[in-house]
Amino acid sequence: MKVIVAYDISDPRRLRRVAKISEDYGTRVQKSIFELDVTVRRLEEMIGRIAEVIEPQEDSVKYFLLCEKCAHRGVEIIGQGVFVDPDAEFYVV
């Protein structure tokens, strides 16, 4: 399942922890936005880990689940954004 995760964390320590957790599951596309391609189980695992870190009265984390039709339509980027294809092959030199 394709998911976009966006967060606004008020405390720098919690912010770093949420970013590190998010990196375990997806690709950073903006400072506080990640693209995920995960199973339901992995998404639930991530949500649980982040819930243990944040302060709900101060922080915000949003999970946008993309339907198959939307996910396959593609990404439109205006400006300096770069699309990162998680299925593409990469070579380390």
| Per-residue confidence (pLDDT) for residue 11, from 0 to 100 | 96
Q: Does 83 map to a domain?
A: no
Greater model confidence, 75 or 10: 10
Mean pLDDT over 73-92 rounds to: 62
* Choice between 59 and 77, residue whose per-residue pLDDT is larger: 59
**What is the percentage of the chain residues whose pLDDT exceeds 90?**
67
Domain with 9, as residue range(s), is 2-73
Q: Note the pTM of the prediction, 2 decimals.
A: 0.78
Cα–Cα distance for residue pair 34/20, rounded to 1 Å:
11
Is the residue at 49 inside a domain?
yes
Number of domains in the chain: 1
Torsion of CA 9, 15, 17, 21, to 10 degrees: 70
What pLDDT is stored for residue 91 in this prediction?
A: 57
